A and B are shown apart, each in its own frame.
Chain A
């Protein structure tokens, strides 16, 4: 299975602190994406990082990618209670152009006010 795995499964922090989530995957990819999901809702796309990129920023988000270790991290700086959600990494398959995504089980982030 190419399914990615997020670590930790659950993370609980105070507002203002930084949150770091990690993702590992198994095969070669074209890109890796991070999504956020509020309870019972659809997925919201956060950021996409290409396989030839090592770091990308978007607002309070910082994503790194290490293709040699097949791993990625998502850093949320200065967290807010509204950041409380599940976060998923999703990878594709470099050997395919169809674009199906493989998801891990996600990290449940809780930010306490």
Chain B
């Protein structure tokens, strides 16, 4: 257990439905990242928050995706009008401070299956 929690751990939904995932970081970590991992691949970066500010978004984050981090604490990732191609593991990672040598701590992930 890294101290980063994600909820739910598994989500099965029908195509076209909206889903929302939550990430709770380690409390003193002000930097939070979302990644997506498909079968047989490594994680791919989606978006990054420093405190409550969303500072970077990948081109993978289409307009159906939105992420928030109100008050710089937990974060949510919402996918609207899900498609089968959205099926993946969604991973949250956090790290403390600004030092470039800080490691990232990953949560257990939310596995999304879109039927």
Contacts and interface: CB of A to CB of B under 8 A. Distances in A.
Interface string B2-44: 1000100000000000000000000000010101000011111
Interface stretch (B61-69, B70-78, B79-87, B99-107): B99-107
A105 interface: yes
Number of chain B interface residues as a range: 20 to 34
Interface residues of A, number: 26
B106 A43 contact: yes
B63 to A, nearest CB: 20
A48 interface: yes
Given A88-B42, A100-B48, A104-B42, A43 B55 contact: no
B103 A48 contact: yes
A31 B103 CA distance: 9
- 3 shortest interchain CB distances as A-B pairs: A103-B42, A42-B108, A43-B106
Given A45-B106, A88-B42, A101-B35, 17 more contacts: A3-B42, A31-B101, A35-B106, A42-B106, A45-B2, A50-B101, A90-B42, A97-B98, A98-B48, A98-B50, A99-B31, A99-B48, A99-B95, A101-B43, A101-B45, A103-B43, A103-B44
Interface of B: 2, 6, 31, 33, 35, 40-45, 48, 50, 55-56, 89, 91, 93, 95, 98, 100-109, 111
